[in-house]
Amino acid sequence: MAVKTFAAIDVGSFELAMKIYEISSKSGMREIEHIRHRLALGADTYNTKKISPRKMDELCRVLREFAQIMKSYHVTDYKAYGTSAIRETENTTIVLDQIKNRTGLNIDVLSNSEQRFLDYKSVASQGAPFQKIIEKGTAIADIGGGNIQISLFDNDALVMTQNLKLGVLRLHERMLSMRPRPGQVDELLEEMIQSQLSVFKKLYIKDRQISNLIVVDDYVSGIIKTKVPSEGQEGLMQEEECLNFLDRISLMRTEERAEYLGIPEENVELFDISAHLIRNMVKLMEISYIWAPGVTLCDGIAYEYAEKNKRKFISHDFEKDILACARNISKRYMGSRKRSETMEQICLTIYDSMQKIHGMGKRERLLLQLSAILHDCGKFINMTNVGECSYYIIMNTEMIGLSHMEREIVAFVVRFNHDRFLYYDEIVTDSLLDRQTYLVIAKLAAILRLANSLDKSHKQKFKKIKGELDDRQLLITVEAGQDILLEQEMFKKVADFFEEVYSVRPVIEQRQMA
């Protein structure tokens, strides 16, 4: 049968959700089951860093039931992800092992950026409407239980993303602990939200023109999608209509609101917090249109699965996003665009000509490209300690679409461009890298070092560069009008390392420009 049945499980901070899909190349993704169970794991984790035994029992019970339901649908594959509530437990490993033992289900923990990437994918899975909206300056606000993620688009590519600890449940818990009087609640919320958002605006928005806001959340978007009149696209509404709606609701009593919105009363407070966040973002960025596509993490999980199994026809180029993001970071830290481009070009030339030897794929090529773009971003902070500073900048800057491990690869590759290369035994003392990953770092670092040496003067002396692999030798032919003494000198130094890694000796040959 060409139809695959796939289950996506989201162990979220206030809800366990499972969606079951039928995925086929012919008719795409069809959701056949959506089941949710309210369980505020986050309330435990954010307060005590642990999941209480009672919630653990309930979690396992529901997951066992999920497994049962999966079985009843003859699900062939599943993917279960835990988000911030699991990620932020002190004993994550123990928790996951217990779940595995008690339910048979494997839960993977999503790093924040991975989770956001999936949410982003769920939005992108909407296809054409999404592409149309990001033609204009757009922000995606992904409001979760623990954190919110704001990402900005420029020219249909995502250029930056920032995580803020303003998640709905986190704000709720924090507010409760301050015991405000009913009259103080709104003001308190506004203060908590604005203090962080205004910093965000100063640092990242500046004079960017953002006209659309895409909202992904669990409370408000589903409701405004149906209750506020749409314009053209389903769930697309004018800023004024949306805010008027939210204002109108905020005047109702709790029971009235629950009744009107068709949600349980216990969710009303969380709805309010979400609404506060949206209202603030809309005002801060001077948004004119809001889009609530009404998607969930599960949609992203399934989309990713379909993508991996080549069942889907991806309309959005996620790699382009990552590159745009990296270029934006480079710009932020005063990197030279020209130098970056030269580095990229040299790196990729070498990478491609070494294809037979290193045998790495498209993804590693992307990582190399990112390393080239970010190769000296740390100099913004300290010109003598570029390696370490770059490493920390990269590790602390999110690039949506890059897994945590991939980010670490890039960070190390850039670091070893400047600092002494560390061998595996040295590196594992403070990193969880496995050998395989380590080898990727070594291989990419060797190329980046070589490339760096070829533009040591930062003058982009080479007009054309060619690589040719000949048995144990890599012949790099460069066309240059200027003297390349500095480059040749540097080249010799790094060639040894290159040879150590690849058992191939790089040789440089200069041709005079015609």
Partner 1 sequence: MDYTNKEYYTNRELSWLKFNERVLSEARDAALPFFERMKFLSISSSNLDEFFMVRVASLKDMVNAKYTKPDLAGMTPEEQLKALSEAIHEFVKLQYATYQKMIQPQMKELGIHLIEHHEELSKSQAEYVDRYFENQVYPVLTPMAVDSSRPFPLIKNKSLNICALLDKKDSKKEETEFATVQVPSVLDRMVRIETKDSEGITLIRLEEVIERNISKLFLNYNVLGASPFRIMRNADLTIEEEEAEDLLKEIEKQIKKRQWGEVIRLEVEDGIDKRLLKILKKELHIATEDIYQIGGPLDLTFLMKMYSLEGFEEYKEKSFTPQPVPELPEGCSIFEEVKKQDILLHHPYQSFTPVVRFIEQAAADPDVLAIKQTLYRVSGNSPIVRALAQAAENGKQVSVLVELKARFDEENNIVWAKMLEKAGCHVIYGLVGLKTHSKITLVVRREEDGIRRYVHLGTGNYNDATAKLYTDLGLLTCSEAVGEDATAVFNMLSGYSEPLGWNKLSVAPLWLKKRLLTLIRRETEHARNKRVARIVAKMNSLCDPDVMAALYEASSAGVEVYLLVRGICCLRTGIKNVSENIHVYSIVGDYLEHSRIFYFENDLQPEIYLSSADWMPRNLERRVEIMFPIEAPQLKERVMQILDLQFRDNVKKRTLLPDGNYKIITDEDAPVNCQEIFRREVMQKTKQLKRDAAKKQRVFIPKTHIES
Q: Which residues bind partner 1 (CB under 8 A)?
A: 1, 3, 5, 15, 22, 24, 27, 30, 32-38, 65, 68-69, 71-74, 222, 226, 259, 262, 264, 294
Nearest-approach distance from CB 22 to partner 1, in angstroms: 4
**CB atoms near residue 342 (< 10 Å):** 21
Give whichever of 22 and 479 is closer to partner 1, judged by the CB atom: 22
Alpha helix positions (H), 267-317 = 268-285, 297-308
Give whichever of 245 and 416 is closer to partner 1, judged by the CB atom: 245
Burial category of 449 from C-beta neighbours within 10 Å (exposed 0-12, middle 13-18, buried 19 and up): buried
CA distance 124 to 136: 15
Nearest-approach distance from CB 88 to partner 1, in angstroms: 23
Give whichever of 292 and 324 is closer to partner 1, judged by the CB atom: 292
At residue 40, φ and ψ (nearest 5 deg) are: -85, 75
Give whichever of 5 and 452 is closer to partner 1, judged by the CB atom: 5
- What torsion do the CA atoms of 28, 34, 38, 44 make, to the nearest 10 degrees? -30
Nearest-approach distance from CB 296 to partner 1, in angstroms: 9
Nearest-approach distance from CB 173 to partner 1, in angstroms: 20
Nearest-approach distance from CB 72 to partner 1, in angstroms: 4
Give whichever of 33 and 341 is closer to partner 1, judged by the CB atom: 33
Tokens read off for 383: 């010109």
Residue 22 β-bridge partners: 5, 30
Give whichever of 167 and 294 is closer to partner 1, judged by the CB atom: 294
* Residue pair 302/23 in contact by the 8 Å Cβ criterion: yes
Pairing mode of beta strands 28-38, 15-24? antiparallel
Nearest-approach distance from CB 59 to partner 1, in angstroms: 14
CA distance 74 to 158: 38
DSSP state of 420: P
Give whichever of 38 and 337 is closer to partner 1, judged by the CB atom: 38
Give whichever of 39 and 354 is closer to partner 1, judged by the CB atom: 39
**In whole angstroms, what separates CA 94 from the centre of its chain?**
26
Nearest-approach distance from CB 73 to partner 1, in angstroms: 6
**Pick from 72, 70, 91, 73: nearest CA to 82:** 91
DSSP state of 423: P
- Sequence-distant (≥ 6) Cβ neighbours of residue 70 within 8 angstroms: 7, 18, 20, 78
Nearest-approach distance from CB 58 to partner 1, in angstroms: 11
CA distance 249 to 227: 11
CA distance 377 to 343: 13
Give whichever of 262 and 481 is closer to partner 1, judged by the CB atom: 262
* Residue pair 242/229 in contact by the 8 Å Cβ criterion: no
Nearest-approach distance from CB 222 to partner 1, in angstroms: 5
Strands, E assignment, 83-231 = 107-109, 138-143, 148-154, 157-164, 212-216
* Residue pair 374/390 in contact by the 8 Å Cβ criterion: yes
Give whichever of 299 and 487 is closer to partner 1, judged by the CB atom: 299
Nearest-approach distance from CB 38 to partner 1, in angstroms: 6
